[in-house]
Structure 1
């Protein structure tokens, strides 16, 4: 796909993402979809309203009515699409910085579109083939104001509310100024938790911290956990489809460890789990211990969703899927990454024992991640060529499902281009931190040498 990456399409506003482009995406989607009504939602970014207006205009121009959901978490928008049996357009750049925005497309089943469906829409965008409506057949827009309340009520009905309430948990919460600010604090209080918040006012400038819930951005949350003697800390990204945790000592838990803990709790023998090619050995070990099968895909939610649906069609059960970035699927509940639901399922575990104990069996590996930005296609091509040569010369057989993954038994390294940003990402993991760092830095040296020669 030329326009859609591993999780929709994103870009810097005014540069690679413009209202004109979003208008065309909406016109193309409205042309391909048979629906006469489409939902539009957004996160808190300052440019969200502008892009909602562009998308609404595009849909109306091809004769489609619009339900404007306002600022809601992505999983709340997905729930609305499923309940109303209408497709949706979500204006969000998820965890990206505030100058970014993006478009995510959802089907009338409440599931992000498959690669094949996105390609059909992309063809119409590129050829500008749109079913423009006559003047008296254009669509209209109406606001819908109950989406967050309905979403929260459904969450409450689908978690172990009594067990969480009985544990009398104190929870520190950092919603990162995103859409989760409008739902998760109240949701956790209704679960019976004592909630302390930071960065919880909706603000698309993200003044308190950057949107991505990675350890270097969670210092405020770690301090809040320690200051309030909280049992656990929870952090979201901009559209609240992720949850990252901080233990009772104020230490951030890696997304790989929390995913492994959740998988161990909810997988049974014969089940399937789905993850991406950068999967941690932690999840591999859990699946082996449980007797579950692990399926690997290219990185990105779209690819995981596609594989889960294929397994469903084959009659397989997929209770847990996800990546080590805090984005966990519980497909039997809903096929979407849902930060509030992930948080509640983790609280079910913390209700029984401390957060540090929950993840203790999955703390044996060290992870290193390096991003190399590029400014031109020539630089990208040079780095990918260098990665190919590096993999070919390595003392390991490359897995090329998505980029180049080299497994060495005690550690592994993966090099792949980002699907959402102009970066090549390097991931490494090992039982020994020095070993993982060495692998990552060796790969980085090879790629940087390639662009230095241009």
Structure 2
């Protein structure tokens, strides 16, 4: 049990640690938690396209059924947002999702989604973690049922009701990165009228040998396909399709910060409301909000904090620079399937390169990037504590105007640029983020950030 720990988004580990016995222990802990909280409704158990995921999901279903809960399984691997939507749409007690999201194939993971469909806050994950114990199943005669159901149709109906747009005339390339978005996001786009070409839509539990992460270094096939088909936009999902990435004709991979800016401005044409962003996400959102008389709420990294702030502030949109977004009126879980449809709608209203260029001309150039430094999980707290006592007065030749300690340390520089150092919640790494007006300055800031962290590890 000491090997089971819940980070930013559940428990993830390599398969030498992430074993069936330990997954069953998590299932029993969730069953005990739900019993303690008085839940009796069914539980949905979803899973991604990894080779081991369906088997782990069936083990969870057995443990939950053996504790008296009726269990719903999808008919095949499905995206996390479809599972979260099912929780709300069916008024379920909650969900368990077997996925390691964008991590490479040697990982797997599990996360608990509470009855509101939003990511579990620490008060919930702590309550689950405190109940970790070996499974205790009732006599078979007292078990709940296990049923396979369609999760795709209800989610598609919800998505089309939120984004009621005609994509006729739009040419899109969709890249599933061999993950669970295949046959889901591309189907949604076709239903809206788009001409959709596809790459990497075959299930491959190895994800083609690279992590199913829709970042620039992994989207070369999509960039090539957008050029080949003269497409208006390329859309990619990560392994469990809760995140989204975009490729445009002019820019290639579109920085997720810039997509967020384009998305927020598009939504503000017809609605109003604050935006929620993580501490690692661009200040361009703040500039757009100010220009429209709106506000911005800054949170720690992790969509659970974004989702919570969306509820507290009735936000129009919430997002993070890693490609996770949701909007008002939808389940408060990041949804790369819905965002694929919404990104297409943004593009149909105005070519997305034109929109981004106009935003940068209006609000100033923004370049953002990030880097990582290896750091054992056991050392992260010590590194952050030592950094607190060793913060410089200047970095990369600029004075530090302010320090935000919401999540790690964000150093706001006197020229409007910033650098953030924080521990990763999903990998044994320290993250370094930077934003400025030029790539050269961002590269300088990232190097300065690494030099700040490395001696402390």
TM-score of the aligned structures, taking structure 1 as reference length: 0.91
Change beyond 3 A, Cα 1:382–1:119: closer
User: Cα RMSD (Å) of the superposition?
Assistant: 2.2
Pairing 1:99–2:106 present: yes
* 2:159 alignment counterpart: 155
Superposition map of 1:14-413 within 5 A: 14-15=16-17, 17-33=18-34, 34-69=39-74, 70-86=76-92, 87-125=94-132, 128=133, 132-144=137-149, 146-162=150-166, 164-165=167-168, 168-207=169-208, 209-249=210-250, 251-267=252-268, 271-311=273-313, 317-363=314-360, 364-375=365-376, 377-378=378-379, 380-381=380-381, 383-391=383-391, 393-394=393-394, 395-396=399-400, 397-408=402-413, 409-413=415-419
* 1:314 alignment counterpart: none
Q: CA shift at 1:150, angstroms?
A: 3.1
- CA–CA distance in 2 between the matches of 1:159 and 1:105? 28
SS in 1 for 2:353: helix
Is the contact made by 1:391 and 1:398 (CA closer than 8 Å) also made in structure 2? no
Is the contact made by 1:215 and 1:252 (CA closer than 8 Å) also made in structure 2? yes
Change beyond 3 A, Cα 1:295–1:437: same
Change beyond 3 A, Cα 1:209–1:362: farther
- CA–CA distance in 1 between the matches of 2:222 and 2:273? 35
SS in 2 for 1:171: strand
- CA–CA distance in 1 between the matches of 2:416 and 2:349? 33
Superposed CA deviations along residues 289-323 of structure 1, whole A, max 9, x for unmatched, are 11111111110011111222222xxxxx3111111
Change beyond 3 A, Cα 1:208–1:156: farther
Superposed CA deviations along residues 190-238 of structure 1, whole A, max 9, x for unmatched, are 1111111111112221017531110111111111111110111111101
Q: CA shift at 1:26, angstroms?
A: 1.2
- CA–CA distance in 2 between the matches of 1:435 and 1:93? 33
- CA–CA distance in 1 between the matches of 2:344 and 2:183? 20
Q: CA shift at 1:431, angstroms?
A: 0.7
- CA–CA distance in 1 between the matches of 2:162 and 2:306? 23
Is the contact made by 1:275 and 1:297 (CA closer than 8 Å) also made in structure 2? yes
Is the contact made by 2:49 and 2:180 (CA closer than 8 Å) also made in structure 1? yes
Change beyond 3 A, Cα 1:425–1:68: same
SS in 1 for 2:427: coil
- CA–CA distance in 1 between the matches of 2:299 and 2:448? 25
Structure 2 stretches of 5 or more lacking a match?
A: none
- CA–CA distance in 2 between the matches of 1:115 and 1:66? 25
Q: CA shift at 1:138, angstroms?
A: 2.7
- CA–CA distance in 2 between the matches of 1:341 and 1:382? 39
- CA–CA distance in 2 between the matches of 1:411 and 1:223? 33
Superposed CA deviations along residues 128-159 of structure 1, whole A, max 9, x for unmatched, are 38775345323332222x21233223323332
